[in-house]
Amino acid sequence: MLFATLASILALAGTTLAQTPAGFAPSVNKTLDVYYGSTYITPGLMVRKSSTASKPTIGVTGEALTGKYLLAMIGEQFGGATRTTVLHALLQDYTPNGQTLNGTTVLSTTATGPSSYFGPAPPAENPQHPHNYIFLLHAQPDGFAVPASQRSVVQSRIGIDWVKFMADAKLSAPLYANYLRVQSGDNTKRAFQA
């Protein structure tokens, strides 16, 4: 009984280590700190669509970063057996901006591309279910550009295969990740119109 309990705790600890949803590739263990306003995103947190309209503040805790970083945000949805993905953001040139927030070394960019941020907007579905939105932070290779083979999917945003993108763009494995969830058909209004 005790052993069974310990085993299940250990199993749980093993599965909660990943900062990416179960089944999502690539799997990443280190947390990307993500804040929407004052809300800290713990991996898998369910949030309202209205709180995610503007791009989040991101960073890392406990590590000194140098160089440039690339952020991808990928929406993942399952309808029956079908998995679809949407590229919600691909933003380059993140660097530490000298600020800290709640212990997080903040990374920022003035870039709005290659693919600008657009917040989660899962369509109404019956039955309702949460959609995943995954954040991946990569070291940005010198001279990074979207490879020709990926230009049309980056432009359409639909059906991005991140493992293939990484290979084509010669990215190494993501360093940090996180994800949130938004319920399908969440039509909450924004608290502030800005």
Q: Give yes or no for a cis peptide into 130 (omega within 30° of 0).
A: no
26-55: contacts with ligand NAG (CB under 6 A): 27, 29, 40
| Shortest distance in whole angstroms from residue 61 CB to ligand NAG | 5
10 binds ligand NAG per the rule CB under 6 A: no
| Shortest distance in whole angstroms from residue 40 CB to ligand NAG | 4
Per-residue x/- track, 61-80, ligand NAG (CB under 6 A): x-------------------
| Shortest distance in whole angstroms from residue 7 CB to ligand NAG | 16
Q: Three-class SS of residue 155? A: helix
17 binds ligand NAG per the rule CB under 6 A: yes
Q: Is 40 or 118 the residue whose CB approaches ligand NAG more closely? A: 40
Residue 47 phi, psi dihedral angles, 5° rounding? -125, 165
Q: Per residue, what are the HEC states of 1-65? A: CHHHHHHHHHHHHHHHCCCCCCCCCCCCCCECEEEECCEECCCCEECCHHHHCCCCEEEEECCCC
Q: Is 7 or 17 the residue whose CB approaches ligand NAG more closely? A: 17
Distance CA 182, CA 12 (A): 23
Task: Report the candidate in 34, 123, 109, 129 with the shortest Cα–Cα distance to residue 73.
Answer: 34
158-177: contacts with ligand NAG (CB under 6 A): none
DSSP alpha helix (H) spans, the chain: 2-16, 151-156, 162-169
Q: Are strands 130-139 and 104-108 parallel, antiparallel or unpaired?
A: unpaired
Q: Is 136 or 153 the residue whose CB approaches ligand NAG more closely? A: 136
Candidate residues 102, 116, 128, 188; the one interacting with ligand NAG per rule CB under 6 A:
102
Q: What is the size of the binding site for ligand NAG (CB under 6 A)?
A: 7
Q: Is 102 or 116 the residue whose CB approaches ligand NAG more closely? A: 102
100 binds ligand NAG per the rule CB under 6 A: no
| Shortest distance in whole angstroms from residue 31 CB to ligand NAG | 8
Distance CA 35, CA 4 (A): 37
